[in-house]
Structure 1
Amino acid sequence: MLFDAVLLLSFGGPEGPQEVRPFLENVTRGRGVPPERLDEVAEHYFHFGGVSPINGINRALITQIEQQLELAGRPLPVFFGNRNWYPMVEDTVADMRDKGIRRAAVFTTSAWGGYSGCTQYVEDIARARAAVGDGAPELVKLRQYFDHPALVRLYADAVVQAVSGLRGAPRLVFTAHSIPVAADRRHGPELYSRQVRYLAQLVAAAAGHQDYDVVWQSRSGPPQVPWLEPDIVDHLAALKDRGVRSVVVAPIGFVSDHLEVVWDLDNEASVYAAEHDIEFARAATPGADAAFAGLAVDLIDELVDGRPPLRAEEGSPVPGYGFSVNGAACSPLCCGRLDA
C-alpha cells in the first residue's frame, strides 16, 4: 500500500480567548452539557490566555514527522486536521484533494481503542470525505499504537527523568482520561482501560518499577453517571492518608501536554500535593519528540512494506491494532471482540 501524503488528525483547541467558547460548544454539541459547566471549563483555558497548547505541539510534531520521513527515504507532505477546531479536518481533506492527493495515511493523536480513542476518528475520516465528495482522497487510519515499543520507551524515559529530580523514593502513579464505565464496556470487557493498564505495566517494567497505581483524570460527566475511578486528586488524598510523601505522576493516557494535562496535573494535582506536603513531579509526554514522529513513520512503513505490527511484547493479552480505510470499520482486533 503506497501513500502520497500523511494526515495528522487531532482533537483541536482554541488559539485565542475569543475561540474558547465556540470550541467548547463544538466539543460538547448534542451532549446536553449545561452552560455553567462550559463556563467552568472555559476558565481553565483563560488561565492560559485562552490558548490550548495542542495545536502548537501538533505543528511541531508535523515538522518532526516530515524530517523522519525524509530520513526514512519516504518524503511525503504532512497535512493537519482537527475534529473540533481549525484547521478542521473537512477543510484539510478538501485542500488535499485540490493538491492532487489520492491516498494518505492518517496518524491520530490517540494511541487507544474504544470509541473516543479510535472509532470517533474513523467517523471523522468518513465525515470529512463525505463533505468533500467527488475526488476526496482515500484515507487510511493507521493502527492503534498503545503498546508500540517506541511509545513504551518514551514514557519510561520520562518516568526515569521525573524520578531523578526527587529526593525521596516516590510512588509511581499513571493517569489516563476517564470515560464513562458504560463506554469502556461498549466494545467488550473494558477494552480501553485494559489497554491503559497494559501500557502502565510495560512502562513501569521498562522504568524499573514493580509497584505502581493506575488512576484517572479529566472526567466531565454528571455525578450520577459512573466513570472510571479513582480520580487523581482523590488518589493523592488516599496516598497521603497512607503516609506517602513523594509521588511521580505519569500521564500515559496522553501523547502531548495539552490543556487537560497541564490543568489537571500541573495545577490541580500539584497544588493539592504542595498543600499537603507531598513531593510531586509530573513525567513528560511524547509531544513533538523525534522518536514519537519516528513511531508514526514506522506505522506507515508497516503498511507500505507489509510488515506485521511491532509490539512491545509478543502475545499481548490486549488486542487492538487494526486500521481502517476511508472511515470504514476497523478490524475486529481494533475496537471489537476480545476473542479474535
Structure 2
Amino acid sequence: MTAYDALLLLSFGGPEGPEDVIPFLENVTRGRNIPRERLEEVGEHYHLFGGVSPINGLCRDLKAAIESDFAAHGVDLPVYWGNRNWTPYLADTVRQMKADGIRRAAAFVTSAYSGFSTNDQYLDDIARARDEVQDAPEIVKLPVYCDRPGFIDPFTDAAKDALRRVPVGARLVFTAHSVPLSQPNRELYVAELERAARTVADGAAPGAPWDLVYQSRSGPPGQPWLEPQITDHLERLHKEGVNGVAVVPIGFVSDHMEVKYDLDVEAAERAAELGIPFARAATPGADPRFAALPRHLLGETE
C-alpha cells in the first residue's frame, strides 16, 4: 500500500465517566439551542450504564482488530484514532499525525452510509481539524461501505442468530438512526439502508417479510423525521398478531448508546409490555470481516 502513509479511524466519540456526560452532550448539540433539561434527560440514558458510552471501548477494539488485520496481510501502516465529539478529539489526532511525519492518510469512518450526518458531517470534521493544524496531513475519506461483504456478512449471521432466539415466523425488523426529512441527502441514505436491509434479509431469511424502521429521534416534536419509530412499529406488529421480532440495527456499526438504550432498554421493554418475543442482532463491532474492510477499501483507492 503506497498511496497513504497512515489510516485514521474516525468516530463519533462518547463519555467515559459520569462527569463527562453533560460536556459530551453539549459538544454534540452545540449551536442547536437544546435546553439544559433535555440534555439532562438524555444524560440519564448514559447514567444507566455508569456514565460510560460503549463507543470508545468499541473503537479501541476495532483499532486493535484493524492493526491485527494489517499485520497479518503485510500492510505497514500506523492506525490513528480521532473523534468528533470527545477525546481523542480529531484535531488532536491530526496534530499528532503531523508530528509523526504523516503526509497523506485515509480515513475509515464508523458510519457505513451516505447522507449528511453519516458522511458529509465527517468530511466537514476533517476539514475543520485540518484547518486547526498548520501544514496538516492530507486526509482522504474512504468510500461508504454499506454494500460491502465485510459489513453485510456479519449482519447476516447476526440476523440468523437473532431469528433463532424468537419463535419461527417472527418478523425481521431493521432499524437505523432517524434524521429530519429536510436533511440533505436523506433520500440517498434511505435508499442505501433499504438495499442493505434487503441484502441481509435475503441472506438470513429468504422470502420472509421484513421492515425498515427508525429510532433515536431527537428533534423538536413539530419537525418531520423519518418514520415509523421502532416502538410505534412494535405496537403495529402486535395488532397484526406477529409472534416475535428480531431487530437488526443495520444503521450502526457497533453497539453504542443508541443501540444499548433505544433498543436493548426502550424497545425491549415495549416489546415485553406487548408480550412480543424480542431479540436484537449484534452489530459488526470488531468482527474480523469488518476489521478487514479498511484494507480492502485502501486497495481500491490506490
Partners of 1:106 and 1:141 within 8 A in 2: yes
Q: Distance in 2 between matches of 1:206 and 1:138?
A: 39
Matched, 1:163 2:160: no
Aligned to 1:199: 196
Aligned to 2:60: 59
| Superposed CA offset, 1:62-110 (max 9, x none) | 0010111112211211111000000000000000100111111100000
Partners of 2:167 and 2:243 within 8 A in 1: no
Q: Give SS of 2:291's match.
A: helix
Q: Give SS of 1:209's match.
A: coil
Matched, 1:149 2:146: no
Q: Which amino acid aligns with 1:33?
A: I
Aligned to 1:328: none
Structure 1 residue runs without a partner (length 5+): 305-340
Q: Give SS of 1:176's match.
A: strand
What TM-score comes out, normalization by structure 2 length? 0.97
Greater displacement, 98-107 / 200-209: 200-209
Aligned to 2:279: 281
Aligned to 2:117: 116
Q: Post-superposition shift, 1:275?
A: 1.6
Aligned to 1:212: 210
Matched, 1:182 2:182: yes
Partners of 1:159 and 1:283 within 8 A in 2: yes
Q: Give SS of 1:182's match.
A: coil
Q: Distance in 2 between matches of 1:255 and 1:128?
A: 23
Partners of 2:107 and 2:142 within 8 A in 1: yes
Q: Give SS of 2:264's match.
A: helix
- Superposed, which structure 2 residues align to 1:4-43 within 5 Å? 4-43=5-44
What TM-score comes out, normalization by structure 1 length? 0.86
Q: Distance in 1 between matches of 2:13 and 2:221?
A: 26
Q: Post-superposition shift, 1:277?
A: 1.1
Q: Distance in 2 between matches of 1:167 and 1:242?
A: 16
Over the aligned positions, Cα root-mean-square deviation in angstroms equals 1.0
Q: Distance in 1 between matches of 2:20 and 2:287?
A: 28
State the identity %: 56
Q: Post-superposition shift, 1:271?
A: 0.7
Q: Post-superposition shift, 1:41?
A: 0.4
Aligned to 1:225: 223
Q: Post-superposition shift, 1:166?
A: 2.3
Structure 2 residue runs without a partner (length 5+): none
Matched, 1:235 2:229: no
Matched, 1:84 2:85: yes
**Residue correspondences, number:** 300
Partners of 1:66 and 1:75 within 8 A in 2: no
Q: Post-superposition shift, 1:169?
A: 2.1
Matched, 1:297 2:298: no
Q: Which amino acid aligns with 1:203?
A: V
Q: Post-superposition shift, 1:206?
A: 1.3
Q: Post-superposition shift, 1:165?
A: 2.0
Aligned to 2:246: 248
- Superposed, which structure 2 residues align to 1:297-336 within 5 Å? 297-304=295-302
Q: Give SS of 1:117's match.
A: helix
Q: Distance in 1 between matches of 2:98 and 2:116?
A: 28
